[in-house]
A and B are shown apart, each in its own frame.
Chain A
């Protein structure tokens, strides 16, 4: 989703639920995507990546889905835990480039 001013989109879930965080991109030349997790006052932490020639990739408790038709990316977290509470950013790299462009971020709040 889009953020307005200083407001971060927030997803609130209960511990044990599955979480889905969404990200939209606009550039057809986006070739590579990464999801990062950022806890308060810390640097982003790599979670999972996916190339544009794939539509799904799984990690430990996380799955990234890529729909190039609608330019949409999602991060699914299974059995969400309080430690998953953080801001999640999707980031993209355009074909032929090496710099990351970050999305606006989504705050995930997990309550016990």
Chain B
């Protein structure tokens, strides 16, 4: 159990376009979903925390208008990188918690590699 699916796994886009990344909890309802960004050989940096039906909470320094998060259901959260530029190229990873006895354990998707040309 606790499978998190992320799609697409890899995307290349032109500068100025927008890219949407989906994160789904496949076998559980996620109480909370999280979005991270990771540069090569570095650690994961939390971008935002997302709860179903409410606005996402963004970490300091993360542009809300640049990284739009929609959490429409208990199993789906999306991250849209708007007007992407080469500096947005990175590995984006989502995670989800399923509450209960495992309320603090985050289960991660496989990540999305974004390359902006």
A positions within 8 Å CB-CB of B: 3, 6-8, 32, 34, 36, 41-46, 49, 89, 93, 98-105
Contacts and interface: CB of A to CB of B under 8 A. Distances in A.
B26 interface: no
Nearest to A49: B105
Given A43-B93, A89-B44, A98 B110 contact: no
28 contacts: A3-B41, A6-B41, A34-B104, A34-B105, A34-B106, A36-B108, A41-B113, A43-B6, A43-B108, A43-B109, A43-B110, A43-B111, A44-B44, A44-B93, A44-B95, A46-B108, A49-B105, A89-B43, A93-B104, A98-B49, A98-B97, A98-B103, A98-B104, A99-B46, A100-B34, A101-B46, A102-B43, A104-B42
Contacts of B40: 6
Contacts, number: 58
A98 B43 contact: no
B34 to A, nearest CB: 7
B32 interface: yes
Given A6-B41, A43-B110, A89-B43, 8 more contacts: A6-B40, A42-B110, A43-B93, A43-B111, A44-B95, A46-B106, A100-B34, A105-B42
A46 B107 contact: yes
